Amino acid sequence: MTPGSVKGREAGSAPDPVSGPARAGAVSEPVCTLPESASAVAGPGAVPECASELRDPVSGPARAGAVSEPASELPGSACAVAGSGAVPEPVSGPARAGAVLKSASELPGSACAVAGSGAVPEPVSGPAGPASALPGPASGPARVGAVPGPASALPGPVSGWVAVEGASLATTVQLPEGDGPFPAVVLRTPYGMRGHRDEACGWAARGFAVVVQDVRGRYASDGDWQPYRYEEADSAATFRWVRGRSWSDGRVVAAGASYAAHCALAAVGDGDPRSRPDAVIAAVPALGLAETARTARGTGGVERLSARAGWWAAHGDRPDSDGAALDDVLARDPRLLEHLPLVRLPERLGRPLPSWPGLWAASHRPTPTPRGPIPLLAVGGTRDPFADDTLRLWLDWTGPARLLVGPWGHGLTSEPAPEARPGHRTRLGDLYVRWARAALDGALGRERRGAVALGGSDHWYPAPAGTGERIAWPFGTRTGLRLLQGDIFVADPEQPVRSDDLSVERRDVPDRALLVGPPLPRPLDLCGGAEAELCAVADTPTADWAVRVVALDPDGRALPLATGIVRRTDPAGEETRFRVPLGLVARRLPAGTRLRVEVAGHHFPAHARNPHTCEDPVHATRLTASRRTLRPAGSSLLLPVVHGCRPIDPVQETCS
C-alpha cells in the first residue's frame, strides 16, 4: 500500500486528535467534573435516561435525560426509601450573595443517606460504570468506583442551597469521618452533580469535605443559564460560603474538568482572599466562549464547528443535558453541519438556541491570573482538542504550576489513545489527593514543572517549557518529505477535506498537497511543540491552511500525529511565508515509520469552512473555490526531537 493511497481508517487507527469522528464525540465536554469517568462507554457528555420520578433538593423535578441514578441513592436525596423529613426547604425573602437559604450542611450527619448509612459505593462491575459515575480519588482502575473502607466510614451527605445574586445554587456536602474542621474540595458543574457521588466519597474518605454544586440555571439550581457569564461571581460566593461553615478549616481546593475547570479558575484573581481558592485542579480546561469557539493558533482563529455544535445541542439553553442530541439529528440529516449560514444552524437542529450567536460574537480571551501564589495542577491529553489551552494555562500561571499530559482524549484515562502503554496507566484520583495535600501544606516548589507521557513507549518525560530542539523535514526532497501530488490544488468548500477521514483519494484536480517521507532508520522520540513552515499562494484574499501529519507504521496503519489550522488574509496571488502551529506532540515513532503530511484548505467538520468570499464563515451564505500553490522549496515540517532525555516519575514530578 502506498502512502498516497491509504483508504479509509486503517486497522488500529484513531480519529483525528482535534476533531474525532464527525458524529461520535461531537460533544466536547464530559458529564463528569473530574476525569476517570466511564464516559468512553456511553460517549463524552452522554446522560442515561431518567431512572426515577422522585424529587429531591438536588435534582429538582425529574427531566428526560437528567437523572443518572435512582434519586434515593444520590447524595443529598430526600431519601424516599427511609422517608426522612430532613430535607431542607428554601426560605422566602431576598437572597444575599453568598448567604445560605437553608441547609442541613451544618449537621454532622444526615438521615438523607440511603437507609441512613452513608455507605461508600461498591466497585462498579463490568468494563465501566454509568456514564456519569466517577471513581473516587483513591479508587485505582478507571472502572472501579469504590473507596476502600468500611461501609459506615462516612457520615451521610447533606444538601441544600447557596444563595447568590439572582439565583439559588443546589449544593451537596459530603463530610469526612470525625469532628473536623476539614479542608474542602469544591466541584461546580453544569453536567449534574449526581455524577460525583463516588468522587465525593473518595475525597471524603481521605479527609476532605466535598462541596458539589450545580451551576446557575442547570439541573437543580435556578437562575439564568448563560455559559461562562456568572461563574466568577458564583464561584467567589461559594468559596465564601464554604469558609463560613463550622466544618471548614478555611482551606479550599477548587477542582473541575472541561467547563467545570473554568468554574474552578474563574475567581482566582478576586481581590478578597475569602473569595478565591487556595489551590486549583484544572483538567482539560474549556476556558471561555472565545477560547472554545475558535482556535488560538496563528494569526487568526478558525471556528471549531463540530465540537461546539455538539456541546450546544447537548447542553445549551436548557436546564439539563441530552448527550446524544447532535448524533440523533446527524443520523437523520448527515449534511447538517454544512448548513448556511452557520449562525442559523439551530433552525436545522430543530430547537431554539438563543445563546448560539453569542458564542461566535465572543472575542475576549482573558488569561486566568491568580492573585497571590495559588498552586495549579493542569491536566490534559495529547488527543484533547483543548490541549493547547492546558499547556498555555500552565505556561502563563504565575504561582506554583504543575502539568500532567497523557496519551488521552477529552475523557482523559477513560479515553486512551492507541499509542497509550501500560506505563501510562495513572491513578489520577490518588495523584489529585497527594497534590492537593502538598499544595495546601505549602510543600510545592515555586518552579514550573510537569510530566508528559511519551506515546508508543512506557515513559514519561519532563514537560517542555519552551520550543526546545526542532529538526526540519524539508518539503520536496527525497531525504525529507517527497511531494506525491498537489503542489497546485483546489480548496473547494463544497467538497472540503474532512477532519474525520484519514483516506486520501487521487483526483484529477487534487484537493490537497500530499507529501511522504522515507522509512525511519531507527526509533524517533518527539516531545514538544511542532510546526509547519509554509511558502504558499492563494488566489483569494482570505484562506485557511490546514496541515495534518500522519504516522504510517511499518504495517501500513495510519495514526494521526499532529494537526493545525490557521486563517490568512494576504493579497490574492501573493507568495507568503508563514507558520502553522501543530500543537504538542509526544510520541515514539518506531523504526520503519513514514511521515505523511497533508496541506489543505479545510478541516471539516472539526472546523467551519472558509467561504473564500471575505465573509465571516459564521454568517456566510455563498461559497467559492480557492486555487492554492505550495512552494516545496520554501516549506518544511519542524518536529521536536528528544535525545537522551531521562524518564521521570509523573507523580513525583507533579506532587513535589
At residue 362, the pLDDT reads 87
Tell me the CATH class for 39-287+368-450. Answer: alpha beta
Instruction: Indicate the domain borders of the chain.
Output: 3-16+469-640, 39-287+368-450, 305-361
Burial (Cβ within 10 Å: 0-12, 13-18, ≥19) of residue 7: exposed
Side chain identity at 157, as an amino acid letter? P
The CATH architecture to which 3-16+469-640 belongs is: Sandwich (2.60)
Alpha-helical (H) ranges within 526-642 are none
User: 604 has which bridge partners?
Assistant: 498
Domain 3-16+469-640 and domain 39-287+368-450 have a common topology: no
Which three three-digit cell numbers place residue 261? 475547570
Per-residue confidence band for 363, with pLDDT thresholds at 50, 70 and 90: confident
The contacts of residue 83 (CB under 8 Å, 6+ apart) are: none
215 phi, psi to nearest 5 deg: -70, 165
Contact 568, 547 (CB under 8 A): no
For the cut 80, the answer to whether the pLDDT of residue 577 exceeds it is yes
User: 640 has which bridge partners?
Assistant: 470
Rounding to the nearest 10 degrees, give the CA dihedral for residues 491, 496, 502, 508: -50
Residue (of 221, 285, 253, 333) closest to 29 by Cα position: 285
Per-residue confidence band for 467, with pLDDT thresholds at 50, 70 and 90: low
Using DSSP's 3-state secondary structure scheme, residue 143 falls into coil
How high does pLDDT run on average in the chain? Answer: 80
Among the ranges given (96-100, 485-489, 549-553, 594-598), the one the predictor scored with the smallest mean pLDDT: 96-100
How do residues 399-421 score in pLDDT, each as one tens digit?
A: 999 999 999 999 999 999 999 99
Contact 458, 424 (CB under 8 A): yes
pTM over 0.85: no
Per-residue confidence band for 466, with pLDDT thresholds at 50, 70 and 90: low
How do residues 69-86 score in pLDDT, each as one tens digit?
A: 222 222 333 222 222 333
Q: How crowded is residue 501: how many other Cβ atoms within 10 Å of its Cβ?
A: 14
Q: How crowded is residue 44: how many other Cβ atoms within 10 Å of its Cβ?
A: 29
For the cut 70, the answer to whether the pLDDT of residue 347 exceeds it is yes
How do residues 183-234 score in pLDDT, each as one tens digit?
A: 999 999 999 999 999 999 999 999 999 999 999 999 999 999 999 999 999 9
Sequential DSSP letters for 286-336: ---HHHHHB--SSSS--BBHHHHHHHHHHHTTSSS--TTHHHHHHHH-TTG
Which three three-digit cell numbers place residue 500? 474525520
Portion of the chain with pLDDT greater than 70, in percent? 75
Among the ranges given (464-478, 513-527, 628-642), the one the predictor scored with the smallest mean pLDDT: 464-478
Portion of the chain with pLDDT greater than 90, in percent? 68
For the cut 50, the answer to whether the pLDDT of residue 309 exceeds it is yes
At residue 65, the pLDDT reads 32
Residue (of 87, 64, 90) closest to 74 by Cα position: 87
Contact 174, 154 (CB under 8 A): yes
Of 436 and 134, the structure prediction assigns the larger pLDDT to 436
At residue 383, the pLDDT reads 96
